[in-house]
Structure 1
């Protein structure tokens, strides 16, 4: 039986599990609290509250591992607890996937980056990700695949609710662009990689249409038939430090490799395709 151990079973991992479970996969998943564990069980996943429970049996059973948990200043939290066991099992695993971020590339003033672009993050979180990627790559014999994700959206993570209730903001910073990826495209790309393993591979996960953030809000308002939220200048807009940090880097991310190596055809190649589908299927309703 093919068995996935999902470490830090979050939004993207749940989308993948919805693809794998109907195919007969067995899925173990970690979460940090009991309430989420019960929700995972209702999804058909075997939950483990972690840290706090012994994952030895799940690790021994796993043929595949997906790591979604983010790093912190001390490194990768899963490797702090499980490095020895994972290293011991490296030769028997068929596939390991690590969900990273396109933030590892740093700022390119709106220019294009691909998987071979040097990693020059300017944010603290980006630097943590570079270090975490290296930690996983250092495990001998691990069939590791690194997936660098652009900004994730999908059911429950779209702009419609904020546009409707008047809290959406069109923050304008000249030259600023972001790449994005719909969660269902993340799931299909991970599934394609599982079907065609290539240990050592690195893939950018993004759509075909990097765009300014204010354009996405404007299109959501257009779809809803509502007035455009007013523009706000980035330099004077009131924002949290976290929100402001997202604007520290601007780049366009290439996705040729997922198409050429994995044969992926994006379900939502632009944010316009993705937003139209979200609205047709309930807008921002959670999965």
Structure 2
């Protein structure tokens, strides 16, 4: 789930967004770094967090960063990990206490810091041939966290664990049947983090996310940049159903669960419209062409589709009823049309001259 990109204009050097499209640290502008004195004071306080709501995020990627800014604005203490020293520096400049984490060789001293937090969000994907990088050290996790302050745990998984369901409507009670290696590792990670949570006396939340999109990571940016399609994107061409969800709605669901008194469960976090990728791409193209006529100069996607064979693996329609009924989530972006329009509306210009 972790995506090694920054938010807003930092996601891509050629895209610029209006300020309201980018969450703000401590409800302040992100135009520049915090003063050194403020950062030192913040780091000092984070060494032994005092607030009642303290979130540690394993994997400060696309979702983790959006969530962090929102939590800070609500008075939470937030810390986390990232895989890049450059990202670590940028996040620290914006007021977060960040630990560098090499997924292949985790720095286990991080566990000493995690035990001070009340909430743990796991947003690190499994690694092919390895599995979940943190669960390799489950015994250490147990011994370190068992006497800590943790009382809430949420693992961000994927709807890929359901496998190919022949287009059926899938709810959380549908038996998972993953087909790809990574989907099988996802399911194993769900079980591993659930077991850890139960050992600690916590009822875990498992969030099975659809395809994640938002400002800087959507069909709008793909069309504007006109980059070649990835192999994964090509394979999704012939799917009749593709579940997706806007990052804002993921954050809304996480925050609802974090503030809930209910027991943790498995939740599908998706929107209302599992539309095929080709349909979404065509809509994004029309939005861009209407706003900036003449910007799109090539039909890269249509050319690349000619070499793709039909692949209907993974067909399913994912039901989000439990999320809405039990977490009280009212989707800000119930379908791709509202989500993509919002992203485009907040873009000031498609390119910025350096």
Distance 1:266 1:124, change over 3 A: same
**Which of these residues, 38, 41, 48, is aligned with residue 92 of structure 2?**
41
Matched residue, 2:280 = 216
Larger radius of gyration: 2
Find 2:126's aligned residue among 71, 77, 84. 71
Q: Secondary structure at the match of 2:206?
A: strand
The separation in 2 between residues aligned to 1:82 and 1:7, in whole angstroms, is 15
Call closer, same or farther: CA 1:55–1:182 in 2, change over 3 Å. Answer: same
Q: Cα deviation per residue 1:18-54 (whole Å; 9 max; x = unaligned)? A: 1110122111111123211112212321101122361
How far has the Cα of 1:282 moved from its partner?
Answer: 1.2
Partner of residue 59 from structure 1, selected from 114, 122, 126:
114
**1:215-256 CA distances to partner (integer Å, 9 max, x unpaired)?**
001101111226794646868329xxxxx98x6312111100
Q: Map of 1:139-218 to 2, 5 A cutoff?
A: 139=196, 140=199, 141-167=201-227, 174=238, 176-218=240-282
- Cα distance, 1:83–1:193 mapped onto 2, change above 3 Å: farther
Residue 27 of structure 1 pairs with residue 75 of structure 2: no
- Unpaired segments ≥5 residues, structure 1: 239-243
**Secondary structure of the equivalent of 1:96?**
strand
Aligned residue for 2:217, secondary structure, equals: coil
Contact persistence 1:59–1:86 (CA under 8 A): no
Q: Check the 8 A contact 1:159/1:168 in 2, yes or no.
A: no
For structure 2, list consecutive stretches of 5 or more residues without a partner in the other structure.
1-50
CA separation in 2, counterparts of 1:35 and 1:220? 31
CA offset digits 1:63-100 (Å, max 9, x no partner): 00000001123332112235433465357422111000
Task: Report the number of matched residues.
Answer: 279
Comparing 84-93 with 44-53, greater Cα deviation is found at 84-93
RMSD: 2.7
Offset at residue 15 of structure 1 (A): 1.2
The farther-off stretch of 176-185 and 88-97 is 88-97
- Tell whether the 8 Å contact from 1:179 to 1:210 is kept in structure 2 after alignment: yes
Task: Say if 2:115 and 2:150, in contact at 8 Å, map to a contact too.
Answer: no
Deviation at 1:124, TM superposition (A): 0.9
